[in-house]
Amino acid sequence: MNPSRPFELPAFLRALFLILSAAVYTAILGPPALASCFLDRSRRWPSFFQGLWVDWLLRTNGIHIRLEGMENLKQDQSYILVSNHASILDIPALISAAPFPVRFLAKKSLLWFPIFGWVLYFSGHILIDRQSAQSTLRSLKKAPSLLKKGISIIVFPEGTRSPDGEVQEFKRGAFLLARHSKVPVVPISIIGTYEMLPRQGWCFWRGTMHIRMGEPIPTRDLSHQESRDLMRRVRETIIENLEKGRAEQELKGEERGERPDDGIEDAGEEGTGAPVLNH
């Protein structure tokens, strides 16, 4: 893990531009996205606007994504995508990377953000009240209907962003959901977002986010012991792939603020089979 950089004025200005661009794109795309939530019961149009918002945000802020392991996922299958969480950038990163519609398990306080929070709620994102177990259970009951419609659910089982970029202890909610819905769990490791925009501080450094998709873990026929071990198994896989990704990143010299070549790079020549999406 690279030590946090000190305050830099250019990085601070980039962070302000990131916030401003997110607000502008929300104002532009939010109203039609909100309307589509009521007019399109298939949820396809809300997913379209969600993806467009992310695409604009990443492109205008010089954020790039390297993907690995996409061959493990089927577009016609629903999953519970379980990821580490080190930066607010993890959210657009996963939306951009997913080859199918996705919704998040997120905190209910996001409803207080005008337009943005309303779109989250009406488009089917699962907003939970962390202070109320009963409210959380009621919210989780929405998940099976989303999964049946082919919409995968993204969960950050740490509950909040890591303060130091390391994987924190997991909460069991995502794994109870997987056990009851009987859909595969996909461990996801995101590398680089902590270095670009950590939880602490107000600076943003451009760079490349690496996303490593692990192999889906079936949950349909798990024994009682296997169900209990599922959380440990997923966490260990995420940590293992996180460490591998960091080692590869250091070997390639991809540090924060360095801009990769334009276009789409096929990393398959290096044995990873990971395309790079330049936004």
The residue among 258 and 51 whose pLDDT is bigger is 51
On the question of pLDDT at 180 being above 50, the answer is yes
pLDDT of residue 181: 87
On the question of pLDDT at 256 being above 70, the answer is no
Lowest mean pLDDT among 18-22, 35-39, 131-135, 203-207: 131-135
What residue spans define the domains of the chain?
9-278
The residue among 1 and 25 whose pLDDT is bigger is 25
Q: 209 forms bridges with which residues in the sheet?
A: 65
Confidence grade of residue 248 (pLDDT, cut at 50, 70, 90) = confident
What global pTM score does this model have?
0.86
The residue among 203 and 279 whose pLDDT is bigger is 203
Report the pLDDT averaged over residues 8-22. Answer: 96
> Which structure tokens are listed for 147?
């999964």
The residue among 275 and 103 whose pLDDT is bigger is 103
Percent over 90 (pLDDT), the chain: 61
Question: How does 48-64 read in b/e, with b if 16+ C-beta sit within 10 Å?
Answer: bbbbebbbbbbeebbbb
Confidence grade of residue 3 (pLDDT, cut at 50, 70, 90) = low
Confidence grade of residue 164 (pLDDT, cut at 50, 70, 90) = very high
On the question of pLDDT at 260 being above 50, the answer is no
Q: Nearest Cα to 65, choosing from 95, 87, 85?
A: 95
Condensed to tens digits (0 to 9), the pLDDT of residues 189-206 reads: 999 999 999 998 889 999
On the question of pLDDT at 188 being above 90, the answer is yes
Confidence grade of residue 125 (pLDDT, cut at 50, 70, 90) = very high
The residue among 267 and 122 whose pLDDT is bigger is 122
Give the sheet arrangement for strand 80-83, strand by strand: 126-128, 102-107, 152-155, 80-83, 185-191, 207-213, 63-68, 275-278, 265-266
Three-state SS letters, the chain: CCCCCCCCHHHHHHHHHHHHHHHHHHHHHHHHHHHHHHHCCCCHHHHHHHHHHHHHHHHHCCEEEEEECHHHCCCCCCCEEEECCCCCCHHHHHHHHCCCCEEEEEEHHHHHCCCHHHHHHHCCCEEECCCCHHHHHHHHCCHHHHHHCCCEEEECCCCCCCCCCCCCCCCCHHHHHHHHHCCCEEEEEEECHHHHCCCCCCCCCCEEEEEEECCCECCCCCCHHHHHHHHHHHHHHHHHHHHHHHHHHHHHCCCCCCCCCCCCEEHHHHCCCCEEEEC
CB 147 within 8 A of CB 78: yes
Whole-number average pLDDT of the chain: 86
pLDDT of residue 266: 39
pLDDT of residue 135: 67
pLDDT of residue 275: 44
* CATH domain 9-278 topology: Glycerol-3-phosphate (1)-acyltransferase (3.40.1130)
The residue among 80 and 201 whose pLDDT is bigger is 80
CB 182 within 8 A of CB 219: yes
